[in-house]
Amino acid sequence: MSYNAPPPPGGYGAPQPAYGGAPMEHPQGTTILILGILSIVCCGIFTGIPAIIMGRKASNDGQAYSNAGVIKAGYICGIIGTVLSVLGIVFYIIMFAIAGSVSLSTS
């Protein structure tokens, strides 16, 4: 006796994206990261402050970005680079003041 089973049901198609779709990427995320890294490496305040401003603005947009980690890393690097630059400037001012006072006292 031959039994003919019905064919299996058809596929359900491609899975649908999550409600609201996937989060989009912030267009300036990479720029924020590059400015933050440059503030640590060489440029200090000149690239650190823009990285802080742009990172803060991107974080306060109220949207979930797929590259939020990149934005946060650039923001933090900008803070670190700016603080290191300010500390370096203060150090050099103190050293010049000490050198000036020593040279005046020996003359």
- pLDDT digit of tens for each residue in the chain (107 aa)? 567 777 666 666 666 655 667 789 999 999 999 999 999 999 889 999 999 999 999 999 888 899 999 999 999 999 999 999 999 999 999 999 999 888 877 76
Q: What angle do CA 29, 16, 23 make, to 5 degrees?
A: 15
Q: In whole angstroms, give the CA distance from residue 88 to residue 96.
A: 12
Give pLDDT, residue 4: 77
Q: In whole angstroms, give the CA distance from residue 68 to residue 23.
A: 10
Number of alpha carbons in the 13 Å side-chain half-sphere of residue 66:
6
Give pLDDT, residue 105: 75
**Taking Cα atoms as reference points, which of 49, 16, 19, 44 lies closest to residue 32?**
49
Give pLDDT, residue 43: 84
Q: In whole angstroms, give the CA distance from residue 67 to residue 26.
A: 7
Whether this model's pTM surpasses 0.85: no
Number of alpha carbons in the 13 Å side-chain half-sphere of residue 80:
14
